[in-house]
Amino acid sequence: MSVHVAATDLPGVRLLSPIVHGDARGFFLERYRTEDLAAHGIDPFVQSNHSRSARRVLRGLHWQVPPHAQGKLVSVARGEILDVAVDLRRRAATFGRWTSAILSDREHRRMWVPPGFAHGFVVRSEVADVMYETTAPYAPEAERGLAWDDPRLAIDWRLEDLGPSSGPTLSGRDRSWPRLGELGADDLFDEGTHP
């Protein structure tokens, strides 16, 4: 197996740590091996995305609803982010709870965010290149979003770690997403949507 998989406090969300081979020349690792991922219930990928963002940029919280729901395997090729997943399975005991992890180009750890969860991140380094493989292609009609600062979620984005500022840098769209209590049934997931 080319990766170690650890559970988080949200069912289905996992942290994957690859085996890194390094010496004075640099390092080598397998980004993913399909059979390793399948052994942990992670579906094959159909799309690969790459974003570059500056310090304090916050992207999210995003997801796609069925039949275009996406699982995402998130990693950082350069820099460091705080990666966040929020449970949107309305009948789950963990509905509305979140988990987070620091992902960086030093540890090469990745986060698996299955369908049924919102995803977002904030950049902690000067620049971050974030890679994410998805299990379904982008479908704009199925895209949804959630307010990053919803007090009901109370996500600790650890912005104080980044020095003094008035807050994160957001797109207009990410600034205007609804709160959890404003989402309709069609914006959420049934508990059995994913493993």
**CATH of residue 125:** 2.60.120.10
How many other C-beta atoms can be found within 10 angstroms of the C-beta atom of residue 62? 17
For the stretch 64-102, pLDDT in tens is: 999 999 999 999 999 999 999 999 999 999 999 999 999
Residue 83 located in a structural domain: yes
Residue 92 located in a structural domain: yes
Q: Is 62 a residue of the active site?
A: yes
**Prior bond of 61 cis (ω within 30°):** yes
The CA R_g of the chain, rounded to the nearest whole Å, is 16
pLDDT at 192: 57
Question: b/e map of 4-29 (b: 16 or more CB within 10 Å)?
Answer: ebeeeebbbbbbbebeeeeeeeeeee
Residue 4 located in a structural domain: no
- Is this structure's pTM higher than 0.75? yes
Residue 38 located in a structural domain: no
Residue 11 located in a structural domain: no
Mean pLDDT of 159-174: 91
- Domains in the chain, number: 1
Residue 192 located in a structural domain: no
Q: Is 132 a residue of the active site?
A: yes
Catalytic residue from among 4, 132, 138, 194? 132
Catalytic residue from among 62, 68, 119, 194? 62
Residue 57 located in a structural domain: yes
Strands of the 14-18 sheet, one edge to the other = 3-7, 14-18, 110-113, 72-78, 127-134, 47-54
Q: Is 195 helix (H, G, I), strand (E, B) or coil?
A: coil
How many other C-beta atoms can be found within 10 angstroms of the C-beta atom of residue 73? 22
Residue 22 has pLDDT above 50, yes or no: yes
Structural domain that includes position 122: 45-186
pLDDT at 20: 86
Residue 10 located in a structural domain: no
For the stretch 131-166, pLDDT in tens is: 999 999 999 999 999 999 999 999 999 999 988 877
Name which residue leads in pLDDT, 86 or 190: 86
